[in-house]
Structure 1
Amino acid sequence: MPRPALDPAASMALVVAVLAVSTSGPLIAFATAAPAMAIAFWRNALAVGVLGPISLFARRAEYANLARREAAFCALAGVALAAHFAAWMPSIRFTTVAASTALVATQPVWQGLISVAQGRRLRTVTWAGIGVAVLGAVLATGADFGVSSRAVLGDLLAVLGAVMAAAYTAFGERARVTLSTTTYTTICYSVCAVLLLVVCLASGQSLGGYPSTTWLAILGLVAGAQLLGHTMFNYALRRVSATTISVLILLEVPGAGLIAWLWLDQVPPAASLAGLALLMVGVLIVVLGGAHAGRRERERARLQVETAA
């Protein structure tokens, strides 16, 4: 079934989401007083505290009729999201924001491979756009692929975070076919928070006692990257493919780099301008190519309906 046309609400949601997730890396790097896994737990748990009551009140009928298959996709998305946070957030402590953000930006490659494994055939223009955008992301951040064993560990964790982010988006795409944004995100974030809590307790990580500046950074992550970032991407998943979402997330790279430059004094390398240009070109190739393909699918579906009538 072809996806409905991208409406202004979904377009605005994507813009807000990109801007919001751009704050994630710098905020995590700033909040050094809290363990990375504890930050990941709190950003999900507090998001559930906001979304949960709204979801349970407004979507009671949806919960009552929740099918086992839908619940499974939500739970699997939560597991993948927890694995993403467990890998990527600590990576920022082992390597630079630039390197970690660039490597986690390889998500579209893994998203494309997942789509192929699901039996989908990606258009050549999509693969070309993914390749150009990922190359641009790496160049724009001047990613350091490991000058020490600590940096290598950070690099590997960031790549694992990219793979898990792709899995999270793929499961979310399946769940969002029938479920509302609030129901899906509440279940997904709840599963993620519970798993991260278990990890934090098992590893003895402190869940409190942080200075006020760290709590403000955590609240910033909840309001920005989680509620306005992940949730808005989840909202758009009903009208935009998981692969396109993954490519759009690449726009986080220059945003995070700019914030890290202005706030954390991490000056971007000179190659960043050329990388940024490539990144934008790659995003445009995927988005415009996907929009063209979507119009063709809708036109084909319209003709089939008219022929059948």
Structure 2
Amino acid sequence: MNGSVVALVVAVLAVSSSAPLIAFAAAPALAIAFWRNFLATVALTPVTYGPRRSEIRGAARRVVLFAVLAGVALAAHFATWMPSVQLGSVATATALVATQPVWQGLIAMAQGRRPSAAGWAGIVLSVAGAAWATGADIGVSGEAVLADILALLGGVFAAVYTALGERARVSLSTTTYTWICYGVCAALLLIVCLASGIDLAGYDTRTWAAILALVAGAQLLGHSMFNYALQHTSATTVSVLILLEVPGAALLAWLWLGQTPRAAALPGLCLLLVGVAVVILGATRSTRPVVDPALTD
């Protein structure tokens, strides 16, 4: 087994653990989002601000602005997707946020780059699958439907984050760009938590363990392994493999949390994933990436 395969296996396992850990942690979703971004920023600071200080100081203001705006979009992503995991099911929330490439394609269309026939087919399949899954949740509870809407918004904000990040990474290294994004994201989430009166401490040991596992796994390890794999594997292959997070998270939630995926939603979720895969494969002729591995849930 070569290094790229090992990296991809580790990365998929790391990001698959994200949603189950969020559901497991006995803390408000926004507080978890703050801590995972703040601690990740702290961990990245010694390898970014010191060795790469000249890169930060020499970067054009426009590029830094794009990185900051990407951090704002990242905060919006976490503020919508992470509550959806706690309000609904892990399987549905993870699948709906995986629609990011679909929204990415629509953003590209708004910028004058029309999707291919395969891209359009994938968008239609994804929308139909999302509608099926959300419709199945209407009969469950209003809270489940709200979770679906938040997860979809999380996918939209992830696409916005990627579009902005593409502009910033023209001249910023991945490490510096990620450090800026996580830092801005953490600062915004801190303000929201303090303004909303959300407790940022006083959690039990298992919750802190879950938060630290999120930082080490999905936030740092998954990101690093995906970027390593990109040096040896096509972006399209990596993008499709990222979709394995959905069944991986569902399996972990079933074995660990006892969350059995709702049977009525499964056909819709499968249709959604097929659509997203078609969108990714249809984008192979485009120079614009449809997934940013720096954004791992």
Q: What CA distance in whole angstroms lies between the structure 2 residues aligned with 1:117 and 1:262?
A: 42
Higher Rg: 1
What is the Cα-based RMSD across aligned positions, in Å? 3.4
Q: Are 2:15 and 2:245, in contact at CA under 8 Å, matched by a contact in 1?
A: yes
Question: Structure 1 residues 131, 51: CA separation in 2 closer, same or farther (over 3 Å shift)?
Answer: farther
Matching residue's letter, 1:196: L
Q: Deviations over 1:57-106 (max 9, x none)?
A: 22122112111111011111100010011111112222222222222222
* Percent pairwise identity: 67
Equivalent residue, structure 1, for 2:43: 50
For 1:72-91, list aligned pairs within 5 A: 72-91=65-84
Matching residue's letter, 1:23: S
For 1:4-153, list aligned pairs within 5 A: 16-31=10-25, 33-129=26-122, 131-132=124-125, 144-145=137-138, 147-153=140-146
Q: Are 1:107 and 1:165, in contact at CA under 8 Å, matched by a contact in 2?
A: yes
Q: What CA distance in whole angstroms lies between the structure 2 residues aligned with 1:118 and 1:9?
A: 37
Question: Structure 1 residues 140, 13: CA separation in 2 closer, same or farther (over 3 Å shift)?
Answer: farther
Identify which of 208, 216, 229 aligns with 1:223: 216
Equivalent residue, structure 1, for 2:199: 206
Deviates more, 1:12-21 or 1:197-206: 12-21
Matching residue's letter, 2:60: A
Question: Structure 1 residues 204, 270: CA separation in 2 closer, same or farther (over 3 Å shift)?
Answer: closer
Equivalent residue, structure 2, for 1:3: none
Q: Are 2:91 and 2:247, in contact at CA under 8 Å, matched by a contact in 1?
A: no
Deviates more, 1:177-186 or 1:188-197: 177-186
Q: 1:197 deviation in Å? A: 0.3
Deviates more, 1:187-196 or 1:55-64: 55-64
Structure 2 unmatched ranges of 5 or more = 288-297
Question: Structure 1 residues 107, 288: CA separation in 2 closer, same or farther (over 3 Å shift)?
Answer: closer
Deviates more, 1:96-105 or 1:278-287: 278-287
Q: What CA distance in whole angstroms lies between the structure 2 residues aligned with 1:50 and 1:212?
A: 21
Q: What CA distance in whole angstroms lies between the structure 2 residues aligned with 1:259 and 1:142?
A: 24
Question: Structure 1 residues 126, 280: CA separation in 2 closer, same or farther (over 3 Å shift)?
Answer: same
Q: Are 2:137 and 2:145, in contact at CA under 8 Å, matched by a contact in 1?
A: no
TM-score by length of 2: 0.81
Secondary structure of the equivalent of 1:183?
Answer: helix
Structure 1 unmatched ranges of 5 or more = 1-7, 296-309
Equivalent residue, structure 2, for 1:195: 188
Q: What CA distance in whole angstroms lies between the structure 1 residues aligned with 2:106 and 2:43?
A: 34
Q: What CA distance in whole angstroms lies between the structure 2 residues aligned with 1:26 and 1:214?
A: 12
Q: 1:217 deviation in Å? A: 0.3
Q: What CA distance in whole angstroms lies between the structure 2 residues aligned with 1:134 and 1:54?
A: 41
Matching residue's letter, 1:18: V
2:164 counterpart of 1:171: yes
Q: Deviations over 1:89-139 (max 9, x none)?
A: 112222222222222222222111111112223222233345556767888
Q: What CA distance in whole angstroms lies between the structure 2 residues aligned with 1:138 and 1:279?
A: 9
Matching residue's letter, 2:76: A
Equivalent residue, structure 1, for 2:293: none
Q: Deviations over 1:254-278 (max 9, x none)?
A: 1110111111112235688877876
Equivalent residue, structure 1, for 2:292: none
Q: 1:44 deviation in Å? A: 0.2
Q: Are 1:140 and 1:272, in contact at CA under 8 Å, matched by a contact in 2?
A: yes
Identify which of 256, 261, 264 aligns with 1:268: 261
Q: What CA distance in whole angstroms lies between the structure 1 residues aligned with 2:162 and 2:183?
A: 16
Equivalent residue, structure 1, for 2:294: none
Q: What CA distance in whole angstroms lies between the structure 2 residues aligned with 1:168 and 1:44?
A: 15
Q: Deviations over 1:207-266 (max 9, x none)?
A: 11111110110011101111123455577889977x987665433211110111111112
Question: Structure 1 residues 217, 102: CA separation in 2 closer, same or farther (over 3 Å shift)?
Answer: same
Q: Are 1:80 and 1:167, in contact at CA under 8 Å, matched by a contact in 2?
A: yes
TM-score by length of 1: 0.78
